[in-house]
Copies of this chain bind each other. A is one copy, B any other.
Amino acid sequence: MSTRQAEVLRAAIELLDEVGLDALTTRRLAARLGVQAGALYRHYPSKRALLDAMVEHIVAEAGAGPPPDGDWAAQLRTLAKGMRRGMLAHRDGARLMATFQAPGEAARASFEALVGLLVRAGATREDAAVGIDTLVCFVNGFAVEEQARGAGAPRDRAFEAGVDVILSGIRTSILV
């Protein structure tokens, strides 16, 4: 990944935070880089490809940090909070993820890590995948709705309560 490509990506994410997804335009991005719109196509083959790179970047930065400690439930709770925080960290972050298509490297890796966590706690691989799928879909669905509703009241408590419902479902219907 060339330095210039990384600069384009960084500028795109900054622009997203400033103007939102709907106003994130190749022409505006080019202007911010002091360049003509067509020049962007040296670095990304399409706007779609750039958006995908942004998603990947945001997922990776959300999945960073030390692995949490505690039992499997405490770890999943921490990781779920981190995923939500990562999406809310950027304007329209959740909606950007939702428009995404292919799971991508970082997303797949973090999914596998979560499944492994439940397997180590005693679940079969299939059951673990169901549990993680449920949790991940909830987190995504929650963040999309939360961000769509605008800056309204903080929904931290509601989010954690939802995570707890799912963790308790995993405990009673998936783990031995």
CB distance from A77 to the nearest CB of B (A): 13
Q: In residues 121-176 of chain A, which contact B (Cβ within 8 Å)? A: 130-131, 133-134, 136-142, 144-145, 148-150, 158, 161-162, 164-174
Question: Do B170 and A165 touch (CB < 8 A)?
Answer: yes
Q: Does A41 contact B (CB under 8 A)?
A: no
Tell which of B103, B141, B164 touches A137, judged by Cβ atoms closer than 8 Å.
Answer: B141
Q: Does A2 contact B (CB under 8 A)?
A: no
Q: Copies of this chain, how many?
A: 2
A138 to B170 alpha-carbon distance, docked (Å): 14
Q: Which residues of B contact A165 (CB under 8 A)?
A: 130-131, 134, 166, 169-170, 173-174
Tell which of B99, B142, B158, B166 touches A166, judged by Cβ atoms closer than 8 Å.
Answer: B166
Complex A-B: 29 CB contacts under 8 Å: A101-B150, A103-B149, A130-B161, A130-B162, A131-B165, A134-B138, A134-B161, A134-B162, A134-B165, A134-B166, A137-B137, A137-B138, A137-B142, A138-B141, A139-B141, A140-B141, A164-B169, A165-B166, A165-B173, A165-B174, A166-B166, A166-B169, A167-B169, A168-B168, A168-B169, A169-B170, A169-B172, A169-B173, A171-B172
Q: Which residues of B contact A95 (CB under 8 A)?
A: 98-99
Given contacts A166-B169, A173-B164, contact A101 B149 (CB under 8 A): yes
List 17 extra interface pairs beyond A98-B144, A141-B144, CB under 8 A.
A95-B98, A101-B149, A130-B161, A133-B158, A136-B141, A137-B137, A137-B141, A137-B162, A138-B141, A139-B141, A141-B142, A164-B173, A166-B166, A168-B173, A169-B170, A169-B172, A171-B172
Chain B residue with the shortest CB-CB distance to A130? B161
